[in-house]
Structure 1
Amino acid sequence: MKIVRLITYYLLGMISIFCVSIFPQYFSTRGISDSPGYFEQLIAFGKDMFKPESWVYKMEVSKAGGAPMMEIMWPAFVYSMEILAGALLIGFSVAFLLALGSAFLPAFVLRPIKKVLDVLESVPDLIVATLLQVLSIFIFKKFGVDLFSVASFKEKAYFAPIVTLAILPLVSMFKILLLMIEEEFLKVYVTFAKSKGINKFNILVKHVIKNIMPISFHHMKIIIWGTLSSQFIIERVFNVHGLTHYLLDNFQPITVFVTLALIFSPFYFLFQLIDFWLKEDQSLSYEKRRGSVWQKWHFHNILEWAKLSLENVLFLIKSINLRKLSPFRPFISSLFLFGRHMKNWKFALGALFFIVAISYSLIYSVTTDNHVDQVRLHYSEDGVKLLGAPPHAPTKPFFFGSDKLGFSLFDQLVIGAKYTLIFALLIALLRVLGGLLFGVFYAFHLGPRTQHWLGKLVDSIHFLPLSLIAYILLAPILMPAFTGFGYEFTYTFTERILLEMFILTILVVPLTTVLLGKEIKRVLDYEFIASARALGGSKFHLFWRHIFPHIGPRVTILLGTQFIQVLLIFIHLGIFKFFFGGTKLSYDPMGADPPMSMTHEWSGLIGELGRTTIASGRYWYLWILAAFILAIFAMQLIIQGVKEVQQVKVGVLYKAPRVRKQRAKKQAKEVQSAPITKECFNTIERNM
């Protein structure tokens, strides 16, 4: 039975890849008259897959007949997997060793380590690659040693991409292991083991590590998923001729299918075998038994509701408080909740960044009509002496410098802030709201077996790089096609924005659905939910009054993490000149301008970065990356603030205020100098 399920899920994943592979061709031909529809192209592609002549890799710049597909793609796949395996091995190994060593450190040493990890998590992979290139250039200029070599057709580069790619799994896994080891040491069996005289090292090795391994495995899948997306960019930055290179060179449905299938297949079978090894399917029998009991109770509940008389229904209707159903009530509650969170300095600082950045961007756009200063040639005050040509360095004529065409970087960052931040927040909000809506249906209406089947199916998404899927689907939408007289878009500006928002949302909604659905199921197991059901509470009442207040903070945290993920996808797409709202290309035989963003959003400036840019000394381009870092760090402050407010709400004081500490010290001195009476004891207890 397990083998049948394993093959079934794999075939469903391959069918999904097959359906996705035809989307670039469909979107690129949609605007052409008499072009076939999606299903017609899908059927034609399915028929061509059985023809040997279709499995030929042909470079678009070449007129030759091409080579067999697997002769080209298999060595590229092996090269990419060597880099990925090296990065994961180094990252997870170093993280595991650091976590073991950190378990013996005192708390005052661990606190700054955790803060450093939070900061490192806010640094995107592109920034790490860029900083490593800056370091390589500095060492080469200083000592004549080329630390990070770039790959070519003749030579393969391993050191630079592996080191860059290993940072993400290292930081993420180290942070997760550190938290899990701390939580495990607080459990009762650890206290019992200590009382038996077992030292901390033996407890850690023989008990703690064994217990956290299954949970670590689940986190590994998410980390590997993020690492796969990062590899898509790292290969581009370091000119690695892996799967990414050959996919971009021949962007045809068969190449897309082979690329995704090669990535999906090994990871799917590897993790499924580990799943079976950990015996996690044993929980299905428990869920099945629990589900049968719930179905019987649910049927009995329906019969009870059917017995309600008309008088009781009318009484319920009359007892409804119309003021609580006011359309302004959710808005007022949100403002009250926002005001309570603003008392936390981390939440307030992060929220103020978004408020100030978006407000200033909107005001600037309204007052200047999105004007961007441009200086082609910078002359002295007498107008004769030429001081500089673009790109201009900071201070003259622009404080933050300019791009290759002489446009002010600061003006572009200010104008693009509203597009970058607002639409990233909006896409993250749609992901969470969609996941919450379908998560309610998942928890309340689907049986345990269906939930298990859907969870396994959605789990397969972890084996496909999100940035790569976004690139495949958005390439024909955001990039104009050459018509002979210039470049023209297939879709209008509004259609491009809506399609990009829809695609970036729908790719993640299945994951957020299962995640939030499981959170709702967890709350449904609480005793007070059973009491509310016994009192006749409807599903809407259970969700709105009992479940949502419990999962609200987690939903807010999920919103923040999704916002960070959307920004990372913007960065990744910007590397390939795919900008939000569309990429503007110019056609000029005498010298065309570089690709530009139509909205000046921040990823439109990412394409300016590169090894040659840094090597030529244009370090002011790092302002672009600094904007992304500030936005990600501000969102992490909001997430941390929400966590701390929630901890205080449930009675966990994460940090005692300074006034309380001073008051406690003063009371301690008074207690030592005076006899303790009943009134004194009551006063101290009241002030604590």
Structure 2
Amino acid sequence: MKIIKLIAFYLLGIVAILCVSVFPQYFSTRGMPDTSGYFGQLIQFFGEMANPNLWLYPVQGSKGEFPILEVLWEPFVYSMKILLGALGLGFFIAFCFAMAATFLPNRVLAPVKRILDFLESVPDLIFASLLQLLVILVLKTTGIHLFRVASYTEPVYLAPILTLAILPMVSMFKILLLMIEEEFLKVYVTFLKSKGIRRFGILMRHILKNIMPISFHHMKIIIWGTLSSQFIIERVFNVHGLTFYLLESFTPMTIAFTLILIFTPFYFFFQLMELWLKDESAVPLEIKSQRWGRWNLLQWKKDVKNGFAFSLKSIKIRKPSLFRPFTYFFQLLFSHMKNWKFALGLLFFVIAIGYSLIYSVTTDNHVDQVRLYYNEDGSKLLGTPPLAPTEPFFFGSDRLGFSLFDQLVIGAKYTLFFALLIALLRVFGGLLFGVLYAFHLRPRSQEWFGRMTDSIHFLPLSLIAYILLAPILMPTMQGFAYSFTERVLLEIFILTILVIPLTTVLLGKEIKQVLEYEFIISAKVLGGSKFHVFWRHVLPHLGPRLTILFGQQFIQVLLIFIHLGVFQFFFGGTILSFGMQADPPRSMTNEWSGLIGQIGQNAIAGGRYWFLWILVAFMLAIFAMQFIIQGVKEVQQVKVGVLYKLPKKRKIHDKNRETPYSMSNQVTKDRFRRIKHTQ
């Protein structure tokens, strides 16, 4: 039965991939005469997939077509070598560092954790650019060629593996370090220490055995992020892997087989490992007693409908007040503003977005431009675009001579505001559906939904976003297929809906965990409705977790913006000019990822290093959000008593003593003498 379930969920994943593969063709042909709708194209594509003779890879500019598996298999193996090499190297270094860090004192371990937080905030594009820059500088200064940083006639391995290994190394190192620290605080470790077992023996024989199953579950999230990073790393290092062949022939057939090749090995590996690690005794009896074949869709719909209707009837709305939500919000904000990390992070977003709005209103989005840069008297030509810092512009200019600083200021409101909006919609949508997941779905239905959602971890998010946004953001000779407002709304919708299933399961499980607390059971016994339990008890516990999840989603959206920007997919649309002497692609909104696409292309090879200012802006936004997340964590830890502030001691000065001393309730001999002397 388990094997049947495994195959059934795999087939559901394949069907989802086929549905996604048709979207680019549907968006690009929408509105054209003699074209069928989405479902018509989907049915036609299912028919093509059922015929192996139609599994062909068309070559652009040629009438020839080749068997698609023969074309994609070698690039797939090449990409998997890079990915597995990076994962193996990253996990091995993380394991060694975590074992060594366990024996470090706290004064040494604290700065190590800060360095990890810093490395986790640096976008992968910066690591790739700095690695290329290092190799070029060493070659120019010493004549030593360390290794190839781009693939032309021969495959390149070391540079992409080193760059790609940083993310899994840092993430797994932090997870292992946290879990080891938590295990050392448990009772059984104290018992083992009392038996005389040394710290190293406890670590190797007991703690590693306990944390490995949990570490395995974290690996899925890490591999998901690494797959998205590989999509951009292959582009930066000119690797002719799956990404290259996908972009060369962007057809539904190529998209489907590319995603299937990525999805299949990771799906079966993780599902088989979960079956091996799963403890049958931990499965609730309610789930064991049910049979897979008795799942009734009509009964499930009826239960959800009745439960949701009962929850709506149980809502008791108090007398409406216009000021109550604002009062609660400002009270909550003021309590967090006392934490300097939260205040500093929030101040960055307020200043950046506020200054961008003021600049746009006062200057009508004016951007300074210098085509030819002369000296003061105009007798000598000093430079042509792109102009280096600091003259005539402090941050330099792009290839058309536009000031980078002006574009950064104008694009800040689009980049930061819409990234915050998408992150907010992801969290709000996940919370809304998470409530339905926890309160109104049966355990069997929750298992089904969780298994189907779990398949998303094996598909690169940046690649899926590229596939869906390609026909929306890129114009043709006739112009855009959608208006500016439609493009913005569609991009927000796509980047939101791709992650809502994951946030739904995550928050749904968090809600289920809170519902198991004893005070929740007491509230139900006293007659509390589902809405009352959620609003009065569950939601306050989820508040800090929602803020942390919001920050994580914001950082992920920024990284997707960076990845799409490298492929010249800019927020709101890409301006293209056609002709023999066409201008480089430009962003309609001057948002930051558009600047990466305009300036970052071939910048290192041309010696234009000032485009890194754009990546610094992304890093500052990520650092600011991490400050907010850390501030929320510290405020919550103070509330529950994990962290607390000691009251400051009042100090008085004694005229007969040079140094101040602290007030104390204890009467000493010296204090008694001073009191007696004053009398």
User: 2:622 matched to which residue of 1?
Assistant: 632
Instruction: Report what 2:42 is aligned to.
Output: 42
Post-superposition CA distance 1:327-354 (Å, at most 9, x none): 4322321111111101100000000000
For the pair 1:650 / 2:649, whether they are aligned, the reply is no
Letter in 1 for 2:624: A
Give the AA of the match of 2:465. A
Identify the residue that residue 33 of structure 1 maps to in structure 2.
33
Q: Tell me the residue number matched to 1:536.
A: 527
1:128 maps to what in 2? Answer: 127
Residues 285/232 of structure 1: CA separation in 2 closer, same or farther (3 Å cut)? same
Preserved contact between residue 596 and residue 604 of structure 1 (Cα < 8 Å): yes
Per-residue CA distance 1:77-128 (angstroms, 9 max, x = gap): 0000000000000000100010001001111111111111111110011111
Runs of 5+ consecutive residues of structure 2 not aligned to the other structure:
292-298, 653-659, 673-679
Deviations 1:284-319 (A, max 9, x none): 334637999xx9xxx9xx99x99xxxxxx9xx99x9
CA 1:71/1:218 → structure 2, altered by over 3 Å: closer, same or farther?
Answer: same
**Residues 142-194 of structure 1, C-alpha deviations (whole Å, 9 max, x = no match):** 11122241444531100000000000000000011111100110000000000
Among 553, 574, 588, the alignment partner of 1:583 is: 574
Deviations for 1:346-368, whole angstroms, at most 9, x for unmatched residues? 00000000000000000000000
Deviation track 1:564-601 (CA, whole Å, cap 9, x = no partner) reads: 00000000000100000000001233x11100000000
**SS of residue paired to 2:223:** helix
Give the Cα–Cα distance (whole angstroms) in 1 for the partners of residues 163 and 211 of structure 2. 27
**Residue pair 1:130, 1:611 contacting (<8 A) in 2 also:** no
- Give the % identical residues: 68
Residue from 363, 379, 382 that aligns with 1:384: 379
- The offset of 1:482, in angstroms, is 2.2
Q: Are positions 1:464 and 2:454 aligned together?
A: no
Distance change >3 Å, CA 661–CA 409, structure 1 → 2? farther
Task: Give the alignment partner of residue 326 of structure 1, picking from 311, 321, 324.
Answer: 321
- In the superposition, the TM-score normalised over structure 1's length comes to 0.90
Inter-partner Cα distance in structure 2 for 1:175 and 1:169: 10
SS of match in other structure, 1:528: helix
* Distance change >3 Å, CA 346–CA 51, structure 1 → 2: same
What amino acid is the match of 2:620? L
Q: Distance in 1 between matches of 2:224 and 2:256?
A: 19
Match of 1:397 in 2: 392
**Which of residues 493, 503, 526 is equivalent to 1:512?**
503
C-alpha deviations, 1:241-272, integer Å up to 9, x for none?
Answer: 00000000000000000000000000000001
Could you say if the C-alpha distance between residues 153 and 398 of structure 1 is closer, same or farther in structure 2, counting changes exceeding 3 Å?
Answer: closer
RMSD: 2.6
Cα pair 1:165 1:234 within 8 Å, conserved: yes
1:20-69 Cα shifts (integer Å, max 9, x gaps): 11001001001313321001001111112233442121221x31413211
Say if 1:67 and 1:153 are closer, same or farther in 2 by CA, change over 3 A: farther
The counterpart of 2:441, out of the listed 432, 438, 446, is: 446
Q: Which of 566-575 and 326-335 deviates more? A: 326-335
Give 1:604's aligned residue. 594
Give the equivalent residue in structure 1 for 2:4.
4
Residue 51 (structure 2) pairs with residue 51 (structure 1):
yes
Contact 1:87 1:165 in 2 (8 A): yes
Q: Is it true that 1:362 corresponds to 2:357 in the alignment?
A: yes
The answer to whether the 8 A contact 1:59-1:250 is kept is yes
Contact kept, 8 Å, 1:416 with 1:602, in 2: the verdict is yes
**Match of residue 70 from structure 1:** 69
Distance verdict in 2 for CA 1:193–1:417, change over 3 Å: same
The one-letter amino acid of 1:182's match is E
Amino acid across the alignment from 1:436: L
Corresponding position of 1:236: 235
Structure 1: 5+ residue stretches without partners? 307-312, 678-688
Residue type at the aligned position of 1:601? E
| Correspondence for 2:246 | 247
User: Which AA in structure 1 matches 2:617?
Assistant: A
Aligned residues: 650
Give the conservation status (yes or no) of the 8 Å contact 1:424–1:563.
yes
Is contact 2:422-2:554 (8 Å) kept? Answer: yes
Q: Which residue of 1 aligns with 2:565?
A: 574
* Aligned CA distance change for structure 1 residues 126 and 674 (closer, same or farther; 3 Å): farther
Secondary structure of the 1:615 match is: coil
Aligned to 1:197: 196
Point out the more displaced range, 577-586 or 531-540. 531-540
SS, match of residue 382 in structure 2: strand
Q: 1:447–1:79: structure 2 CA closer, same or farther, 3 Å change rule? A: same
Q: How does 1:409-558 map to 2 (within 5 A)?
A: 409-483=404-478, 488-558=479-549
Q: For 1:607, what is the secondary structure of its paired residue?
A: helix
Match of 2:656? none
- The Cα of 1:653 is off from its aligned counterpart by 1.3
- Alignment CA distance shift 1:282-1:72 (3 Å): farther
Specify whether residues 647 and 383 from structure 1 end up closer, same or farther in structure 2 by C-alpha distance, changes over 3 A only. Answer: same
Residue 559 of structure 1 is matched in structure 2 by 550
Q: TM-score, normalised by structure 2?
A: 0.92
Q: Distance in 1 between matches of 2:482 and 2:211?
A: 50
1:87 matched to which residue of 2?
A: 86
> For the residues of structure 1 that align with 2:669 and 2:3, how far apart are their CA atoms?
75
Q: Which amino acid aligns with 1:562?
A: Q
Query: C-alpha displacement at 1:320, in angstroms?
Result: 7.0
1:16 partnered with 2:24: no
1:378 CA displacement: 1.0
Return the alpha-carbon distance in structure 1 between the equivalents of residues 286 and 651 of structure 2.
52
**In the alignment, does 2:607 pair up with 1:623?**
no
What do residues 379-437 of structure 1 show as CA deviations (whole Å, max 9, x unaligned)?
Answer: 12212221211111112111111011000000000000000000000000000000000
**Equivalent residues of 1:291, 1:447 under 8 A apart:** no
SS at match of 2:533: helix
Q: Distance in 1 between matches of 2:558 and 2:280?
A: 36
Task: Tell me, in whole angstroms, the C-alpha distance in 2 between the residues paired with 1:73 and 1:645.
Answer: 51
- What are the Cα deviations for residues 3-29 of structure 1, in whole angstroms up to 9, with x where unaligned? 111011101100100111100100100
Instruction: After superposing the two structures, state which structure 1 stretch, 329-338 or 414-423, moved more.
Output: 329-338
Alignment partners' CA distance in 2, 1:492 and 1:588: 23
Q: CA deviation at 1:667?
A: 5.5
8 Å CA contact 1:237, 1:610 repeated in 2: no
Matches of 1:6 and 1:185, distance apart in 2? 37
2:424 and 2:494 map into 1 onto residues whose CA distance is: 14
Contact 1:157/1:240 (8 A) holds in 2: yes
1:149-164 to 2 correspondences below 5 Å: 149-152=148-151, 154-164=153-163
Q: Is the Cα–Cα contact under 8 Å of residues 435 and 513 in structure 1 kept in the other structure?
A: yes
For the residues of structure 2 that align with 1:149 and 1:661, how far apart are their CA atoms?
Answer: 64
Does structure 2 retain, via aligned residues, the 8 Å contact 1:477–1:490? yes
Partners of 1:291 and 1:332 lie apart in 2 by 48
